[in-house]
Amino acid sequence: DSGVTQTPKHLITATGQRVTLRCSPRSGDLSVYWYQQSLDQGLQFLIQYYNGEERAKGNILERFSAQQFPDLHSELNLSSLELGDSALYFCASNLNHETGSSYNEQFFGPGTRLTVL
């Protein structure tokens, strides 16, 4: 158990809908990262938040957005869902401080499996 929690575990929805995925980082971690894992693309970095602010963006679609709240939990919002958005969505966290020992190592949550029908 990494200490990172994600809800829900599974989500099935229809095309065109909107969903929200939730992540709570490990206690003390300031950075949250979102990843999408699909069979053909592998694990793809989407976006990072650090202490409430967006820090880095990867291959995130405009239909997707995220935020990190004052209590450091994060939400990933996916809208106008398409069949191709079906994937495992992972959240990871770390301290991400220049002098922190876990600067690069990221701890992954169990993931949310999204199925778009």
Residue 111 C-beta: closest distance to another protein, Å: 6
Whole-angstrom distance, CA of residue 41 vs CA of residue 98: 30
Whole-angstrom distance, CA of residue 42 vs CA of residue 89: 11
Number of residues that bind another protein (CB under 8 A): 27
- Interface with another protein, residue 45, by CB under 8 A: yes
Residue from 15, 43, 82, 117 binding another protein (CB under 8 A): 43
φ/ψ (deg, to 5) at 83: -55, -35
Residue 86's Cβ-side half-sphere holds a number of Cα atoms within 13 Å equal to: 11
| Sites for another protein among residues 3-22 (CB under 8 A) | 4
- Interface with another protein, residue 106, by CB under 8 A: yes
φ/ψ (deg, to 5) at 69: -90, 170
Residue 15 C-beta: closest distance to another protein, Å: 27
Residues forming the site for another protein (CB under 8 A): 2, 4, 31, 33, 35, 42-48, 50, 55-58, 90, 96, 104-111
